[in-house]
Amino acid sequence: MSGLKILRIGPAASVQDTGRPGLLGQGVSQGGAADPLALAEGAALLRQDPGLAALEMGGMGGEFEATGPLRIALTGAPMAATLEGEPLAWNASHRMEAGQRLSIGAARRGVYGYLHLGGGIASEPLLGSRAVHLMAGLGRAAAAGDLLPADSDRNNETGLVLAAENRFQGGELRIVESFQSGLFPEPVRTRFAATAFRRGGRANRMGVEMVSDGEGFAADGQLNILSEVILPGDVQMTGDGKPFVLLRECQTTGGYPRIGTVLPCDLPRVAQAQAGAALRFCWIGLEQALEIQAKFEKSLKGLPAACRPLVRDPAVLRDLLSYQLISGAVSAEADPFATGETA
Amino acid sequence: MNSQEALAYPLVRRAGLNGMLVSFDSSLSEASNRAALAFGSAVEALPLEGVVETMASLASVFVRFDPADLRHEALEAALETLLTARNWLQAPLPAGRRFWRVPTVYGTDLAPQLGEAADAAGLSEAQAIESLGAARVRVLTIGFAPGQPYLGSLGPEWNLPRQTELTPMVPRGALVQAISQFVLFSNPAPTGWRHVGQTGLTLFQPGAAQPFALRPGDEMQFEPVSKPDFLKHCEDEPLLGGAIVAEIAA
């Protein structure tokens, strides 16, 4: 069985897939990749099932050695990557031969980068998933010396690239009202959407702190409400009225009130915001939210068809190969100087 | 709508983009929890395409669904109809309940917030231990973390608000208290509740055939023991910490 041996790894790396839906009643939240879009992109680049497990790397990557020939893809927060010292394009698929070394550096933008293996990572499933869920005590962070075994790979296509939606610099988060929104007086909800937030220093796979100048956002009866179900995307106010956006590895229930719920399709933007990134909330109605989310889910299905060959022109210097990453796919909103991720 | 008191229960509300919450009361009571447990089972038995999962909570039932298969209006109507099918506040408790007696150290360095909680309840530490140790509480719901119970109800003197600042970390087996309830922690975690007791009970074993020890409806009592006795229990029975389990006759 081919795989990757971990020679060196950052402190916040773990195997992730789409998580464990269906265990809410046992107190286990779904968990899974902090940026599910990156998971889907990697699957598209490797022409495989989006439910397969990949290695999620928070903030920084590591160094890996192939134990046999295998395919890899790199997605999520752009990180500097080299194979045997040669730069690799991000958001692209590549081939590794036995004994070759892959080196992945720190995130240049965003937080969570992903390393996918052809066939998926075949770690031992627990309660129906391979997703490490630290809060639940399911699995553990990846460590030097671990082997990431690749499951059997029926495909051999590599050299594909996908334009990545820029979700790595904060931005606008669309939010719908939920069952506790009414606990927050109307002026508080209005002020919430008018406030410029920055991602705070406290952030992990469970939730992300939002900080702002001025007073906090308190609900009526803040400290005495009944504990209720938590949904990923809920914006919870702690005792001092400070918002946390809860992610998919959050607890399943909680007693701090939630002002509303960020759309699932905007959660990668929350997870991938670096400390200090500017974020803002925008209230939208349920019908509009359902349309936006449905459109996002449809776009996920279109990812395999959106993969393009990495251009390999022998007349071009080798280290320019990686410049092809964003060819023909610059977003109208993107800062042209902030894209063009190269190794 | 500025407070929950103005609302008429039972109540069906939308939760996020793809959820529905049926609440039987704004506060916990024996009857509202009984209703939630029974209604949750009834929703699971409904032949509704598009329901993904349900969770009975303290006094409410959450239903997650796929809006592509089931429209919000259709699910709302189905839940309203089910609400009128019987008096849920008088529904029976689940079958197969058990009674757990759990040796517990109150206070000491193992549970450093007992004094603070006793003060807030207007009791001495000795009175607090007597009160908490004599309470026979029910697993109202499992939540927050895997296999982790909310337990109640304690007397009105224990209706204490959560802390405004989180306690950074309590260990596995920590017994914490707020709003007339206990929570018994299945894993180390931060909490807004006060750490009043420490047990040696393991509630969640990921690899085991039965990963989750407790079920909603089970009853528990946290019997005071000395720290040396507690440590001995933990050494003798690392998973149970001296806990004794018995079936409750139906």
Q: Which residue of B has its CA nearest to A237?
A: B164
Q: How sure is the predictor about A222, in pLDDT bands with cuts at 50, 70 and 90?
A: low
> Under the phi-then-psi rule, with left for phi > 0, alpha for psi from -120 to 50, and beta for the rest, what region is A233?
left
Chain B residues whose beta carbon lies within 8 Å of the beta carbon of residue A231: 15-16, 19
Choice among A243-252, A312-321, B29-38 with the minimum mean pLDDT: A312-321
Contact across the interface for A135 and B148, Cβ inside 8 Å: no
pLDDT band at B6 (very low <50, low <70, confident <90, very high): low
Per-residue pLDDT at A343: 33
The answer to whether the CB atoms of A178 and B14 lie below 8 A apart is yes
**Dihedral sign (CA B236, B238, B242, B245):** negative
| pLDDT at A316 > cutoff 70 | no
- Residue of chain A nearest B212, judged by CA positions: A26
A225 pLDDT more than 70: yes
**Alpha-carbon gap, residue B134 to B223, rounded angstroms:** 7
Contact between chains at A251 and B19 (C-beta distance less than 8 A): no
Rounded CA-CA distance A252/A247 in Å is: 11
Across A309-324, b (16+ Cβ under 10 Å) vs e yields ebeeeeeeeeeebbbb
Q: Which residue has the higher pLDDT, A331 or A111?
A: A111
> Minimal Cα distance from A227: which residue of B?
B58
Of B1, B59, B142, the CB nearest to A27: B142
Q: How confident is the model at residue A238 (pLDDT cuts 50, 70, 90)?
A: confident
Q: What is the mean pLDDT of residues B194-199?
A: 98
A136·B187 Cβ contact <8 A? yes
Residue with tokens 């280290």: A319
Q: Which strand ranges, in their side-by-side order, compose the sheet holding A13-16? A: A13-16, A54-58, A112-117, A70-76, A92-96, A160-161, A308-309
Q: Residue A26: which of B3, B146, B207 has the nearest Cβ?
A: B146
Checking if the pLDDT of A317 tops 70, the result is no
Mean pLDDT of all residues in A113-131? 96
Structure tokens at A341: 């991720």
What does pLDDT average to over chain B? 93
Kindly state the tokens that stand for B141: 């719901």
Contact B15 A126 (CB under 8 A): no
Residues of chain B contacting residue A23, judged by C-beta atoms under 8 Å apart: 146
Preceding omega of A2 cis (within 30 degrees of 0): no
**pLDDT number for residue B166:** 85
Rounded to the nearest angstrom, the minimum Cα separation between B148 and chain A is 7
Task: Please tell me the distance from the alpha carbon of residue A234 to that of residue A244, in angstroms, as a whole number.
Answer: 8
| Residues B172 and B202 sit within 8 Å (Cβ to Cβ) | yes
Distance CA A62, CA A141 (A): 13
| CB atoms A220 and B26 under 8 Å | no
The arithmetic mean of pLDDT across residues A212-233, rounded, is 86
Spatial neighbors of B84 by CB under 8 A, at least 6 apart, are: none
Tell if the CB–CB gap between A229 and B72 is shorter than 8 Å: no
* pLDDT of the residue at A224: 67
What local confidence, expressed as pLDDT, does residue A218 receive? 87
pLDDT for A292 equals 97
Instruction: Measure the CA–CA gap between B22 and B29, rounded to whole angstroms.
Output: 15
Conformation bin of residue A27: beta by default, left when phi > 0, alpha when psi is -120 to 50: left
Return the higher-pLDDT residue of B28 and B133: B133
Distance CA A294, CA B59 (A): 32
Task: Give the residue-averaged pLDDT of A223-238.
Answer: 88
Question: Looking at chain A, which residue has its C-alpha nearest residue B63?
Answer: A229
Fill in the amino acid letter for B135.
A
Query: Cα dist. A292→A136, A266, B212, B249 in Å?
Result: 31, 10, 38, 52
Across B103-113, average pLDDT: 97
By DSSP bridging, strand B51-56 and strand A3-9 are unpaired
Query: Contact B164/A24, CB-based, under 8 Å?
Result: no
Check CB contact under 8 Å for A226 and B147. Answer: no
DSSP for A48-59, please give it. S-TTS-EEEEES
Q: Residue B221: how many CA atoms within 13 Å on its side-chain side? A: 14
Q: Rounded to a whole number, what is the distance in Å from the CA of A6 to chain B's nearest CA?
A: 25
Q: How confident is residue A340, by pLDDT bands cut at 50, 70 and 90?
A: very low
From chain A, the residues in CB contact with B142 under 8 A are: 25-27
* Contact between B144 and A234 using a beta-carbon 8 Å cutoff: no
Q: What distance in Å separates the CA atoms of residue B117 and residue A306, rounded to the nearest whole number?
A: 59
User: How distant is the Cα of B169 from the closest Cα of chain A, in angstroms?
Assistant: 12
The DSSP bridge partners found for residue A199 are A210
Look at B52 and A240 and tell me if their CB atoms are within 8 Å. Answer: no
State the complex-level ipTM. Answer: 0.86
Average pLDDT over residues A289-295: 97
Which residues neighbour A203 within 8 Å (Cβ) at sequence distance 6 or greater? A111, A209, A273, A275
Give chain A's end-to-end CA distance (angstroms, integer): 29
Q: What does the block give as tokens for A45?
A: 């680049």
pLDDT for position A55: 98
Using CA atoms, how far residue B88 sits from B54, B74, B82, B93, B139, in Å, is 17, 21, 10, 11, 18
CB-based contact B57 A261, cutoff 8 Å: no
- Rounded Cα distance between A130 and A13, Å, is 14
Contact B206 A286 (CB under 8 A): no
Asked whether residue A333 carries a pLDDT value surpassing 80, the answer given is no
Closest CA to A247 of A224, A267, A217, A227: A267
Task: Report chain A residues whose CB lies below 8 A from the CB of B2.
Answer: 182-183, 185, 220
For residue A226, list chain B residues with Cβ-Cβ distance below 8 A.
Answer: 26-28, 58-60, 179
Residue A329 has pLDDT above 90, yes or no: no
Residues written for chain B:
250
Q: Which phi and psi (to 5°) does residue B122 adopt?
A: 75, 30
Check whether A186 has a pLDDT greater than 90. yes
Please check the confidence at residue A310 and state whether its pLDDT lies above 80: yes
CA-nearest residue of chain A to B26?
A: A226
Mutate one of B12, B162, B193, B205 to test the A interface: name it (highest A CB count within 10 A).
Answer: B162
CA nearest A297 in B: which residue? Answer: B68
With CB atoms and an 8 Å threshold, state whether A231 touches B145: no
> The tokens of B39 are what?
């209604």
- Write down the pTM of the prediction: 0.87
B75 CB neighbours in chain A (<8 A) are none
